[in-house]
Amino acid sequence: MTTPGEEMHDLVRRLYPLCRSITGDGVRATLDIVGELIPLTVHEVPTGTQVLDWTVPQEWNIRDAYVADSAGRRVVDFAASSLHVLGYSVPVSATLPLAELRPRLHTLPEHPSWVPYRTSYYRPDWGFCLSQDALDALPEGEYEVRIDSTLADGHLTYAEHVVPGRTADEVIVSCHVCHPSLANDNLAGVAVAAFLARALAAQQPYHTYRFIFAPGTIGAITWLARNAERVSGGPAAAGGPGKVRHGLVLACAGDRGRLTYKKSRRGDAEIDRVMRYVLAASERPHRIDEFTPYGYDERQYCSPGFDLGVGSLSRTPYAAYPEYHTSADDPDFVSPEAMEDTLAVCREAFRVLDRNRRYVNLSPRGEPQLGRRGLYDALGGRSDTRQAQLAMLWVLSLSDGGHALLDVAERSGLPFDAVAAAADALHGAGLIGA
């Protein structure tokens, strides 16, 4: 029987060969596969649509590309890896001497056997990416250059999956689907998001969880532009869309490094506190980073005009490992165990987030008599009786409408689960109200 980690790894391997970009059929094919695991609502936004300060670009698709030597041998071949072409390359058909072609051949001299990932999204250009070893092996001479691509009016594609909760207010989980054959920086986050959605659906969560699978930057900006009501703050309107209360961006979710959480721009959003607590309580090796306006789409969700409480969870952060944006970020670079660990932390964080209520003590003048309400009797024989009693007293003490259960756990030093169980018991006895 396969583990969730192995299933996620299989998904990464299946998605890896597809040529993704910020638009095009590679994104659609990726969403088709993810849609086999969870139902998706796919959105197509036409070229030229104004989205905040940006405009949806032309759609890019590619069928073939190569550099061939005088014998017709393909020395650079898109069919071997989608990384071999500069992303968004315009169509080309030419014969060029190596000296003229060389400026359009991108390599990584410091890692001579790796192929870099390069793009030219918003400036018409073309080029190829190859290893430095392959470039060094090319003799002088004429080379046939062919890029069979189209750059034309079309659509930007993104998708959503919603797990309904008991409240309409939302937690967004966002991942980018625009990178080609990169396993950690792209696909591991997609896989963890898909499996997290399935796990939440089985739990009937308190919040509504909205999963966003979108191209980086322009995709998140497009989503924000099209969801003004959802991100404007304030209470959910009756019968209207819920408001985004919390969020998490998933990226670089499958390498073997320690977990890293990057705070929201606010720095003290509830998701920041929950992630800090969960990571510390788990005793996993981890790091907490302050917000910077560079990175993944947390910078879009946290931009001043929205200022959403959205953090970012990764293992080794972007650009902090040598394999980042290279052919070395392949399926062997990510592990089932690491993805399963990332998934477990997400599930625990959202479990805490869902239970982190604020209560009001309905019998605040002196300590209420717990024994006659059967609350102490219910604890009889438990190995953690004293802890459970303390948790009840702490919840009663701090249930003033201003403290959430996470505040109680942090101040008391008691486990969150013990505090939440005490709150459930006290609420059932009518001693606290939400």
- Residue-wise pLDDT for 324-363, tens only, equals 999 999 999 999 999 999 999 999 999 999 999 999 999 9
Residue 237: which pLDDT band, with cuts at 50, 70 and 90?
very low
In this prediction, residue 372 carries a pLDDT of 83
Token code pair at residue 420? 């939440």
Place of tokens 């169509």: 91
- What mean pLDDT is reported for the chain? 94
- Residue-wise pLDDT for 386-428, tens only, equals 888 899 999 999 999 999 999 999 999 999 999 999 999 999 9
CA-angle at 238, arms to 236 and 241, nearest 5°:
50
pLDDT surpasses 60 at 238: no
**Residue 160 to residue 399: CA distance in whole angstroms:** 37
Amino acid letter, 50? Q
In this prediction, residue 370 carries a pLDDT of 85
Q: Binding-site residues, please?
A: 179, 185, 325
Can you tell me the mean pLDDT for 369-380? 73
- Residue-wise pLDDT for 256-274, tens only, equals 999 999 999 999 999 999 9
In this prediction, residue 383 carries a pLDDT of 58
pLDDT surpasses 60 at 84: yes
How many Å separate Cα 262 from the centre of its chain?
A: 12
Can you tell me the mean pLDDT for 362-373? 88
Residue 63's SS3 state is strand
Q: Which residues of 263-280 are buried (b: 16+ CB within 10 A; e: fewer)?
A: bbbbeebbbbbbbbbbbe
pLDDT surpasses 80 at 33: yes
Token code pair at residue 366? 């002196």
In this prediction, residue 233 carries a pLDDT of 52
* CA atoms within a 13 Å half-sphere pointing along the CA-CB vector of 427: 14
Pairing of strands 244-250, 310-314: parallel
Nearest CA among 152, 147, 160, 166 for reference residue 74: 147
Can you tell me the mean pLDDT for 82-97? 98
Residue 236: which pLDDT band, with cuts at 50, 70 and 90?
very low
CA distances from 42 to 7, 52, 162 (A): 24, 21, 12
In this prediction, residue 190 carries a pLDDT of 98
Q: What is the H or E stretch that residue 199 is in?
A: helix 189-201
Q: Binding-site residues for Zn(2+), please?
A: 179, 185, 325
**Residue 434 to residue 425: CA distance in whole angstroms:** 13
Residue 371: which pLDDT band, with cuts at 50, 70 and 90?
confident
Residues contacting 241, CB < 8 A, separation 6+: 168, 227, 229, 230
Token code pair at residue 310? 């959205």
How many Å separate Cα 352 from the centre of its chain?
A: 19
Residues contacting 366, CB < 8 A, separation 6+: none
What count of other Cβ atoms lies within 10 Å of the Cβ of residue 424? 14
Can you tell me the mean pLDDT for 94-107? 98
In this prediction, residue 235 carries a pLDDT of 42
Q: Which domains does the chain have, with CATH numbers?
A: 4-57+155-355 (3.40.630.10), 59-152 (3.50.30.90), 358-433 (1.10.10.10)
pLDDT surpasses 60 at 17: yes
**Residue 196 to residue 192: CA distance in whole angstroms:** 6
- Residue-wise pLDDT for 178-215, tens only, equals 999 999 999 999 999 999 999 999 988 999 999 999 99
What count of other Cβ atoms lies within 10 Å of the Cβ of residue 53? 7
